[in-house]
Amino acid sequence: METKPEMTSCALVELLQLFESAALPVWLDGGWGVDALLQTQTRVHKDVDIILPVADVPKLQELLAMTGFAVREGKPPDSFVLANGAGLEVDVHAVTFDNDGNGVYRMQNGEDWIFPAEGFGGRGRIGGMSVSCLSPATQVLCHAQGYVPVEKDFCDMELLEERFGAELPSRLRRDLRRA
């Protein structure tokens, strides 16, 4: 039976330390972003979703190329996935910050997604390391819009609601009851 690659907390901490040593500002999003906020790993992760300034994408690509990562899908600089030979993935969401501090993210479909400025204030922990991540409310916003949530997304949103009171949109609350 083939085992799927897993982005372990140890592998993630190594990447985050690499980013830190290169002065690359990144925020965790998605499953690891939720787990950082909760300060515990709640499930297995196949990748890590990161947000960083568009201007830092070349530096990120150069840094990760030295450790065997290359573009697997998407098109830099905005929305793309880097993967290494072991199958680890870094899903990159690069943003341009506007005058109000909002992160404007150009998705693969060409549309812009706006990460609210206050969403970049999240702090969490992965493997004992303090990390920047999206806030609980912004995590819920990201999970609730832009794609159809699956079971793991509903679980993430429930955990954020239970721990932080991050309210689920009513549409998703109905979907959650059906899941």
Does this model's pTM top 0.85? My answer is yes
Domain count, the chain: 1
The pLDDT tens digits along the chain (179 residues) read 556 789 999 999 999 999 999 999 999 999 999 999 999 999 999 999 999 999 999 999 999 999 999 999 999 999 999 999 999 999 999 999 999 999 999 988 889 999 999 999 999 999 999 999 999 999 988 877 766 788 888 889 889 989 998 877 665 554 554 54
- C-alpha–C-alpha distance, residues 179 and 177, integer Å: 6
Q: Confirm whether 158 is domain-assigned.
A: no
Tell me the CATH number at 85. 3.30.460.40
Q: Confirm whether 85 is domain-assigned.
A: yes
- C-alpha–C-alpha distance, residues 91 and 66, integer Å: 17
Q: Confirm whether 145 is domain-assigned.
A: no
Q: Confirm whether 141 is domain-assigned.
A: no
The range of the structural domain enclosing residue 36 comes to 9-135
- Count CA atoms within 13 Å of residue 136 on its CB side: 17
